Amino acid sequence: MNATIAARVNILFASETENAEDWIPLLERSLPRDRILLRPEAPIDVALVATPPPGTLENLRGVKLIQSLWMGVEKLLADPALPKGVPLARLVDPGMVAAMSETVLAHVLDWHRQHYAYRAQQHERRWHRHRQYLAADRTVGLLGLGELGSDAARKLLALGFNVAGWSRRPKAIEGVKCSTDLRSVASMSDALVCLLPLTSQTKDVLNASVLGKIKKGGCVINLARGGHLVDGELIAALDSGHLAHAYLDVFEPEPLPADNALWRHPKVTLTPHAAALTDARTAVPRIVENIERLRSGRPLLNVVDVERGY
């Protein structure tokens, strides 16, 4: 690879969703030798992509690296125009990882401190205090123990919560009850948080069987992808009184259509896929690291395993 990369790299920025003005000045400052292009007006070495404009992927056959600007790459992998054989890297942005943990804590604490219930009471101007639980009385189950799950686990443990975690492959994280048995993790959990990549194996993972194993009065927090959740089975688990609340950030499709029942469900708190956004300030150093690795022929970081799907 070393021999094929010129000292000066042409970098295409191709995104219909990310703001070029947030990225280009930081990229130019960090990569002064290279050229950052908004259109493929020269042979491209590296493409930075997130929802690339139609026709972009078709023209990336000769590039050395496609670097996603997001952590989730299931849409790129599903696109038949994605060139085979070109390394595709996920973005592991420390700012985005921290943002995701903030959102996990915000929702876990909203449920744990019963703020969802107090908001409903405020609407009725009703002053009524509920029994308080200690963090040590609660178990938070994390689905996914990669970069996101392990950071959230550490921060939940620091607040005194018990933490259980599910991953496809066996993992060991200090203080976390790690398991590869999804049902056993769900049945230990008061709050179940989905942070998984969307693959054929994780689609519909939040279904009636798993939701029914969460402890009564618990909650579900889906911050991963809409495809992880079977909406109708969640609504049934909320309406039966088994689950107290759901916090949903992701939907299928997005934006969530205005006539979808989730918008108005009294036990659902919705956010518009805003749980954790890439921040160019923390992401650019990671992208620069991969470009410097490419330039010097060292192994690239966070290359996607196409078979595995992430």
Q: What is the set of active-site residues?
A: 225, 273
Alpha carbon 164 to its chain centroid, in Å, reads 19
Residue choice 135, 157, 235, 301 for contact with its own copies (CB under 8 A): 135
Minimum distance from CB of 263 to its own copies (Å)? 5
Smallest distance from its own copies to CB 93, Å: 11
Residue from the set 7, 54, 85, 134 that interacts with its own copies by CB under 8 A: 134
Helix (H, G, I), strand (E, B) or coil at 243: strand
**Binding to its own copies by residue 174, rule CB under 8 A?**
no
- Asked if 89 contacts 76 with a C-beta cutoff of 8 angstroms, the reply is no
Which residue in 35, 75, 115, 293 binds its own copies (CB under 8 A)?
115
Could you tell me the two tokens for 297?
């022929």
Among residues 143, 189, 188, which one has the least CA distance to residue 166? Answer: 143
CB 47 within 8 A of CB 56: yes
Q: What are phi and psi of 122, to 5 degrees?
A: -60, -40
- The 10 Å Cβ neighbour count of residue 259 is 7
72 vs 93: CA distance, rounded Å:
12
Closer by beta carbon to its own copies, 81 or else 157: 157
| Cα angle, residue 103 at apex, residues 125 and 234 outer, rounded to 5° | 70
Binding mask 230-269 for its own copies (x = CB under 8 A): ------------------------xxx-x----xx----x
Least distance CB 107 / its own copies (angstroms): 8
Site residues, its own copies (CB under 8 A): 95, 98-99, 101-103, 105-106, 109-110, 112-115, 118-119, 121-122, 125, 127-130, 132, 134-135, 155, 158-160, 254-256, 258, 263-264, 269-274, 276-277, 279, 281-282
